[in-house]
Chain A
Amino acid sequence: MPEISKPIPAITPEMREFFDGARAGRLMVQKCDSCGTLRFPAHDLCSKCNSTASRWVPVSGRGEVFSFNIMHQLYHPGFASEVPYAVVVVELEEGCKFVSNLLGVKPHDIRCGMQVEVTFEKLSDEVSIPKFRLRAAK
């Protein structure tokens, strides 16, 4: 039986630079041109100063697990072989949060505070996706 893939995100105009960065192995977030606050995903304005000027900047990709859940329900056939699987919220060192998956750790072994770093999974020539893996403590 052919395997059904997970939903592949469309590259929307406001997220183009994020996907350009991911393809090149860089995690990109939006930075407010006016006050420097970082945000993700793309928003029209900065929630701190309301400036609409922003640019995409690379970040370290290092952070820690801020929270997580373990999904037991199947909402899409692409996850049929993985349930239960975990979704994590990573707080990046630079301060903004990123929803993703943590590779190489069984869902029930995940803990808040785990130190993680970004890695990229290539889905197609156009789309690569940031995921996270454990990193050695400093």
Chain B
Amino acid sequence: MSLRAKCAIAGLGQTRMGKNFDHPGPIGFAAEAVNLALDDAGLNRADLDGLLVNPGITWFNNPMASTALQNAMGIRDLRLTATMNLGGATAAAMVMHAAQAIDAGMAEVVACVFADAPLRPPSPDKRDGAGSAASYGFAQGLNAHYGLFGVNAQYAFVAQRHMYRYGTTNDHLGAVAVSERDWANLNPVAQFYDTPMSLADYHASRWVVEPFHLYDCCLVSNGGLAVIVTSAERAKTLKRPPVYVLGMGQGHPGGDPLETLVSGAPIARETAFKMAGIKLGDVNFCELYDCYTFTVLVTLEDYGFCKKGEGGPFVASGAIGPGGSLPVNTGGGQLSSFYMWGMTPVAEAIVQMRGDGGRRQVPRHEIGLVSGNGGILATHSTLVLGSQA
């Protein structure tokens, strides 16, 4: 049986983002986000019977993070919990798991939460690299000797190969960065609000790891983001307009992304679009996982918005920015608003669906396409959301 519009997102809770030191660790951010989301929906903790958690890098080592959060918040008698990890594909995958469990009668009101706190307050004593992306620089063995540190470097290999094979350029990658910055300048809660950036600014920004400039790479943020998933019937009785889950799909291609240069989007799209009963042309706007500019370009290709290898010219045409034919990452994305792994695109889709986008509101918002992506193009999740059932 199709799960089309059986469930809806009824609450959105978002803490302050960025250099936010309101809590000493990620659990405080997670709890604040869940309480904000419950309040947004007009529910309270006693209504929750499901809690799904994607711990960020600062509590990644807690294999039972959802239980830790449950106990920290004093939540009783859950019927569903899980600590989930598909990397950046987890947020949308949590919504899927929640919807399936609700449809199966296993739970009724499920909170899905991401939180992280990798940034530390500035220290008067030393500049130790805290407050940077240092947490992501892990390497060992031969890779450490060769100097291959961190996820940026791995993605750079894939982007470089895409450039070699398809002629993609830094102008193309920069077009994604500039488009998202243009959106961020319409979003008062974006970390790069009121900070315009031209393509020349992009090229002038320092290299992190070629072919990636600083502005090809996502932000690092402290904060928490939670959504409340419930049945469509229940959602209609709550405070805010329901955002219906029309389609869901995942795709995990395996193999070597350097060879294929393809994400899991083609596989996930097939499942999600069939469930939702939509075609590509029905999509009004996209919120795509953007750990890098490159990831957006590849995901647009893989969904079929342009031919494989033509993502560069497609984004350089201006299609994805404000006023373009296909608005993408309308809050500024993880490059220019904040980095909450896959929760950033999920949250912005909800804002747009509800018509809460203010100056960045897209004119048509009946159907929104949301993607998550984890590992090096290893995991992918797709949600098709609708403002009408």
* Chain A residues positioned under 8 Å from B258 (CB to CB): 66-67, 89, 97
Residues B126-160 near A (CB distance < 8 A) = 134, 137, 139-150, 152-153, 156-158, 160
Q: How long is the Cα–Cα vector from A43 to B145 in the complex, in angstroms?
A: 20
Q: Which of B146, B148, B206, B209 has the most CB of A within 10 A?
A: B146
Tell me, rounded to whole Å, the shortest Cβ–Cβ distance linking B141 to chain A: 5
* Chain A residues positioned under 8 Å from B97 (CB to CB): none
**Per-residue CB proximity of B201-215 to A under 8 Å, as 1/0?**
000001111110000
The answer to whether A69 and B211 have CB atoms under 8 Å apart is: yes
Q: How long is the Cα–Cα vector from A84 to B148 in the complex, in angstroms?
A: 12
| B45 is an interface residue with CB less than 8 A from chain A | no
Give the residue of A6, A15, A69, A97 whose beta carbon is less than 8 angstroms from that of B209.
A69
Tell me, rounded to whole Å, the shortest Cβ–Cβ distance linking A50 to chain B: 13
| A120 is an interface residue with CB less than 8 A from chain B | no
Interface range, A side: 20 to 34
**Per-residue CB proximity of A92-112 to B under 8 Å, as 1/0?**
000001011100000100001
The answer to whether A85 and B147 have CB atoms under 8 Å apart is: yes
Q: How long is the Cα–Cα vector from A58 to B143 in the complex, in angstroms?
A: 21
- Tally of chain B residues near chain A (CB < 8 A): 30
| A13 is an interface residue with CB less than 8 A from chain B | no
The answer to whether B211 and A9 have CB atoms under 8 Å apart is: no
The answer to whether B147 and A112 have CB atoms under 8 Å apart is: no
* Chain A residues positioned under 8 Å from B147 (CB to CB): 6, 71, 75-76, 79, 82, 85, 87, 101
The answer to whether A129 and B142 have CB atoms under 8 Å apart is: yes
The answer to whether B145 and A71 have CB atoms under 8 Å apart is: no
B interface residue numbers (CB < 8 A to A): 134, 137, 139-150, 152-153, 156-158, 160-161, 164, 206-211, 256, 258
A interface residue numbers (CB < 8 A to B): 6-10, 12, 15, 41, 66-73, 75-76, 79, 82, 84-85, 87, 89, 97, 99-101, 107, 112-113, 129
